């Protein structure tokens, strides 16, 4: 005889589309380090509360979709936002339009360790350790800002895998659709041209993160609204015959407010990894491979139709 719980799950599956993926909240970054340069995570101790990471609060998620691991996220279950997401960019191999899936959640964050499928987020569900769709209602000038952009996905499944609420932060709408979007398009274009490998493919490492505010500023009294977003990439460039890298960050406010507050942000474009470290105390690519004092500004004139900002 089928139990009432089983009947409920069958009914839920009929009403809400189920995404065929295994949720993987892993114990250590070493369990999902293939998305990190030299398998080394960023040093983000300045963001974490305490010198040692609280493993009950911060969780590594091996973001998995269609039974394949796609990227890595370090998630803050207190602030309900990711600390960072890391992705190995390999270029776009499947082009065309697709229907974005409904936003997804990680059931294992809620202690449902026996879950075999990751469900689409239910509009009426309140989650304890992560943000849900309901928590993003009444946006107050913010929308869902991807850390790893869906446009960076190599395949359609890669793109869809970014549409999980554990890869999202509240982002000022004009910032998300303005200068931040311009930065993402510019970096993608540069990586496609300069981050080549021997077989003609593309390989670069991208990490994007958020600096939470410490003033208890929250969206819907639940989700921390980050003060800043940051991003960096690094790759070996055969065209340049050396490693190249660059960083970017911006204040999570409307574009007009950002220009009034910070003229440097308005005109400077991209910065170096060293400047990111000095400004935000985040060491994105520890090690010797990635140059710490270079920018990609010199590539702008050689990269047509890349939406790159004016270089100074």
Tens digits of residue pLDDT in 43-56: 999 999 887 899 99
Burial code of 228-239, b = ≥16 C-beta within 10 A, e = fewer? bbbbbbbbbbee
Asked if 231 and 206 touch (Cβ cutoff 8 Å), the reply is: yes
* pLDDT tens digit at each of 312 positions of the chain: 444 433 333 333 333 333 434 458 998 899 999 999 999 999 999 999 887 899 999 999 999 998 899 999 999 999 999 999 999 999 988 876 677 778 998 888 988 765 544 556 666 678 899 999 989 987 789 999 999 999 999 999 999 999 999 999 999 999 999 999 999 999 999 999 999 998 889 999 999 999 999 998 999 999 999 999 999 999 999 999 999 999 999 999 988 766 555 555 444 468 999 999 999 999 999 988 999 998 888 877 666 677 776 654
Task: Dump pLDDT digits (tens) for 226-243.
Answer: 999 999 999 999 999 999
Is 227 exposed, middle or buried (CB count within 10 Å of its CB: 0-12, 13-18, 19+)? middle
pLDDT of residue 163: 93
Asked if 82 and 73 touch (Cβ cutoff 8 Å), the reply is: yes
pLDDT of residue 80: 97
What is the full DSSP assignment across 228-291? EEEEEEEEEETTTTEEEEEEEEEESS-HHHHHHH-HHHHH---B-HHHHHHHH--BSS-SSSS-
pLDDT of residue 192: 93
Q: Give CA angle at 44 (41, 48), nearest 5°.
A: 125
Is 157 exposed, middle or buried (CB count within 10 Å of its CB: 0-12, 13-18, 19+)? middle
Q: Nearest to residue 152, comparing CAs of 177, 184, 178, 180?
A: 184
Please give the structure tokens belonging to residue 65: 């979709």
pLDDT of residue 240: 92
Close Cβ partners of 254 (under 8 Å, ≥ 6 residues apart): 141, 172, 173, 174, 175
pLDDT of residue 303: 64
H-run or E-run covering 177: helix 173-177
Distance CA 281, CA 274 (A): 9
Q: Nearest to residue 274, comparing CAs of 264, 284, 266?
A: 284
Asked if 223 and 130 touch (Cβ cutoff 8 Å), the reply is: no
Q: Nearest to residue 310, comparing CAs of 268, 271, 272?
A: 268
pTM passes above 0.85: yes
Q: Nearest to residue 269, comparing CAs of 288, 296, 290?
A: 296
Sheet holding 81-89, edge to edge: 25-26, 58-65, 68-76, 81-89, 204-211, 228-237, 242-251
Close Cβ partners of 118 (under 8 Å, ≥ 6 residues apart): 19, 21, 22, 23, 64, 104, 105, 106, 107, 164
Is 102 exposed, middle or buried (CB count within 10 Å of its CB: 0-12, 13-18, 19+)? middle
Q: What is the CATH number of domain 25-302?
A: 3.40.570.10
């Amino acid at each position: 005889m089928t139990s009432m719980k089983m009947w409920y799950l069958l009914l839920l599956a009929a009403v809400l589309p189920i995404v065929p993926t295994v949720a993987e909240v892993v114990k250590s970054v070493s369990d999902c380090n293939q998305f990190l340069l030299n398998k080394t995570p960023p040093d983000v101790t300045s963001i974490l509360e305490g010198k040692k990471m609280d493993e009950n609060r911060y969780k590594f998620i091996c973001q998995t979709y269609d039974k394949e691991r796609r990227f890595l996220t370090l998630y803050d279950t207190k602030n309900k936002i990711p600390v960072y997401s890391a992705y190995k960019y390999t270029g776009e191999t499947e082009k065309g339009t697709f229907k974005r899936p409904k936003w997804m959640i990680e059931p294992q964050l809620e202690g449902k360790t026996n879950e075999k499928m990751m469900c689409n987020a239910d509009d009426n569900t309140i989650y304890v350790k992560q943000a849900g769709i309901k928590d993003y209602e009444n946006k107050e000038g913010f929308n869902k800002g991807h850390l790893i952009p869906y446009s960076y996905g190599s395949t359609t499944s890669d793109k869809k895998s970014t549409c999980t609420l554990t890869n999202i932060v509240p982002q000022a709408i004009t910032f998300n659709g303005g200068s931040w979007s311009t930065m993402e398009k510019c970096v993608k274009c540069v990586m496609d041209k300069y981050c080549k490998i021997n077989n003609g493919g593309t390989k670069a490492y991208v990490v994007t993160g958020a600096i939470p505010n410490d003033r208890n500023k929250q969206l819907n009294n639940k989700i921390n609204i980050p003060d800043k977003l940051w991003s960096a990439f690094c790759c070996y460039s055969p065209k340049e015959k050396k490693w190249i890298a660059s960083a970017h960050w911006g204040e999570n406010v409307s574009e007009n407010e950002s220009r009034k507050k910070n003229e440097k942000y308005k005109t400077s474009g991209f910065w170096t990894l060293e400047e990111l470290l000095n400004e935000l105390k985040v060491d994105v690519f520890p090690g010797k491979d990635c140059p710490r004092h270079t920018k990609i500004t010199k590539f702008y004139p050689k990269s047509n139709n890349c939406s790159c900002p004016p270089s100074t």
